[in-house]
Structure 1
Amino acid sequence: MVERLGVGIGWRSEIDLTVERLPGVDFVEVVAENLRPGRLPESVRLLRERGVPVLPHAVSLSLGGADPVDPARVAHLGALAEELGAPLVSDHVCFVRAGGLDSGHLMPVPRTREALDVLVANVRAAQAMLPVPLALENVAALLEWPDSELSEGRFLAELVERTDCHLLIDVANLYANARNLGTDVERFLDEIPLERLAYVHVAGGEEHDGVYHDTHTAAVLPQVLDVLARLRERVDPPGALLERDGDYPSDAELAAELAAIRAVLG
């Protein structure tokens, strides 16, 4: 059972002072690749001293890739978790590397049985090296691989069944996929094992030339909060976290977004 986290925000060095003084921040999430064990930023150390949970969120394990898991990357994530006293860590259902090349993006995994077998093997390998549970996040995609054998919800459900991982559901990514790919939000929420929900990501994006981009540089849309509300109708999430990765607004605007998320969760 995942502990109650409340409402949080992604810690970024550009807004470290903001995060420290914002009201209503129950926990924070850090990008694991941006921190080094033994050399934590002073702001992160301060938050831990205050008792604020700090969760490492990785972006480079490439668990959906054909290559074996890189033990060094997993070890880095595990070391951060231990130093931070984190209850869990997370990454994405995606791949970022193939054929020796790094895409620099979170690429969606083909939803086939064969791809699921590869993902499951990599997740199990990572779990065996990690000191805490692993949660995996659904990603935003601008394309779908052909010949899918499973819906996204069923794909995640079978992943959880075979690995006992947790889920980190990004409602902004879910909204983006509904806009761009026609994903059925209700079906997705009905198919995933909500009892394995660790927490939720909420973020803003922008539309360009008819395509919605999950940029994390804009305010959270009412439509994204609506997806969060539809999730809340089914389950009481242990936590929900606001992501912002650029074009940072005022403290008051960030506080208002946190308050809006809290209001939806009730």
Structure 2
Amino acid sequence: MERLGTGIGWRPEIATEIAGFDGLDWVEVVAENLCPDHLPPELQELRARGLTVVPHGVSLGLGGADRPDEGRLTALAERAVALDAPLVTEHIAFVRAGGPATGSPRLEAGHLLPVPRTRDALDVLCANVRIAQDALPVPLALENIAALVAWPGEEMTEGQFLTDLVERTGVRLLIDVANLRTNHVNRGEDPATVLDALPLEALAYVHVAGGVERDGVWHDSHAHPVTRPVLDVLGALCARTVPPGVLLERDEDFPEPGELAAELTAIRTVLEGARHDAAA
């Protein structure tokens, strides 16, 4: 796997701050927010400094019943080429439904919706992943998502579902430890149990993000500080493998640069502690 190091999600609102962070190895960008022919100058500057840039898609909907849209796949491939990216990433989710084949209006959720952990849903996902892999110029990694509830009648655990997906398609995994924590609070799923079942040799990198709990429900907001329980899940993952890369996500309510830098330091501390324990 490509060694990425420690990174942060690049957002225009914090572009200046990101440019001043010491020890930053790479950034991730929301693919749909970029025009490959007109990359932001701040992003071009980071690339000129040697930082890796990874496009992160949010609209393919690979877990949906429809086959991936050719135009969306072409656009994602163009961004991978424009950024000279070593891989691209997307989500294990569906984002739209309906359309002519169903006799109903096409609906865009505007949100990443969880795929039922059933064998039929896995068959559809695997078929869509293979189509995407064939259309992309670089390897694809898929992210586990956060959910508020579980689908009724699920046949597989998260670990079983992701393992079968990797075995059948060879896709890499982007593990979001904040989402594992979210699913622990909202769905009662133990992050350690999920991690134990994952094919971590397929790990591409890791996401770390903040959220907030309200009335017993954890909201994966990406607008709050990273909590200690999320860092603990990161530590549990690092106790099992050395992640090729770890990235801090923040999408809104951006704090002062010092707070973001402190969160990056906290992530590095977890990684260094895991390395120390492994060497002991």
Aligned to 1:164: 170
Rounded to whole Å, the distance in 1 between the matches of 2:185 and 2:70 is 37
Aligned to 2:216: 210
Query: Are the counterparts in 1 of residues 224 and 253 from structure 2 also a CA contact under 8 Å?
Result: yes
1:10 deviates by 0.1
Rounded to whole Å, the distance in 2 between the matches of 1:241 and 1:166 is 16
Query: Are the counterparts in 2 of residues 24 and 258 from structure 1 also a CA contact under 8 Å?
Result: no
Letter in 2 for 1:144: A
- The answer to whether residue 268 in structure 2 is matched with residue 262 in structure 1 is yes
Letter in 2 for 1:87: P
Query: Are the counterparts in 2 of residues 3 and 238 from structure 1 also a CA contact under 8 Å?
Result: yes
- Residue by residue, what CA displacement relative to the aligned partner does 1:203-238 show, whole Å, maximum 9, x if unpaired? 000111221101011110000000000000000000
Letter in 1 for 2:19: E
1:159 deviates by 0.3
Whichever of the two has the greater Rg, that structure is 2
SS in structure 2 of the partner of residue 236 of structure 1:
coil
SS in structure 2 of the partner of residue 87 of structure 1:
coil
Aligned to 1:9: 8
Aligned to 1:198: 204
Aligned ranges 1:31-42 → 2 under 5 Å? 31-42=30-41
The percent of aligned pairs where both chains have the same amino acid is 61
Aligned to 2:146: 140
Rounded to whole Å, the distance in 2 between the matches of 1:69 and 1:115 is 15
1:183 deviates by 0.7
Rounded to whole Å, the distance in 2 between the matches of 1:141 and 1:24 is 33
- Residue by residue, what CA displacement relative to the aligned partner does 1:228-261 show, whole Å, maximum 9, x if unpaired? 0000000000000000011111111111100100
- The answer to whether residue 90 in structure 2 is matched with residue 91 in structure 1 is yes
Aligned to 1:22: 21
Letter in 1 for 2:185: R
- Residue by residue, what CA displacement relative to the aligned partner does 1:46-89 show, whole Å, maximum 9, x if unpaired? 11111100000000000000011101111111111111110000
Letter in 2 for 1:19: I
Query: Are the counterparts in 2 of residues 160 and 166 from structure 1 also a CA contact under 8 Å?
Result: yes
Aligned to 2:182: 176
Aligned to 2:245: 239
Rounded to whole Å, the distance in 1 between the matches of 2:146 and 2:65 is 20
1:185 deviates by 1.1
Q: Give the unaligned 5+ runs of structure 1.
A: none
Q: Give the unaligned 5+ runs of structure 2.
A: 99-105, 273-280
- The answer to whether residue 235 in structure 2 is matched with residue 229 in structure 1 is yes
TM-score (norm 1): 0.99
1:116 deviates by 0.2
Rounded to whole Å, the distance in 2 between the matches of 1:24 and 1:223 is 25
Query: Are the counterparts in 1 of residues 185 and 216 from structure 2 also a CA contact under 8 Å?
Result: no
Name the Cα RMSD after superposition: 0.6
SS in structure 2 of the partner of residue 15 of structure 1:
helix
Aligned ranges 1:124-139 → 2 under 5 Å? 124-139=130-145
Letter in 2 for 1:186: A
1:24 deviates by 2.2
- The answer to whether residue 128 in structure 2 is matched with residue 119 in structure 1 is no
Rounded to whole Å, the distance in 1 between the matches of 2:74 and 2:129 is 14
TM-score (norm 2): 0.94
Rounded to whole Å, the distance in 2 between the matches of 1:65 and 1:257 is 35
Letter in 2 for 1:159: L
Query: Are the counterparts in 1 of residues 117 and 161 from structure 2 also a CA contact under 8 Å?
Result: yes
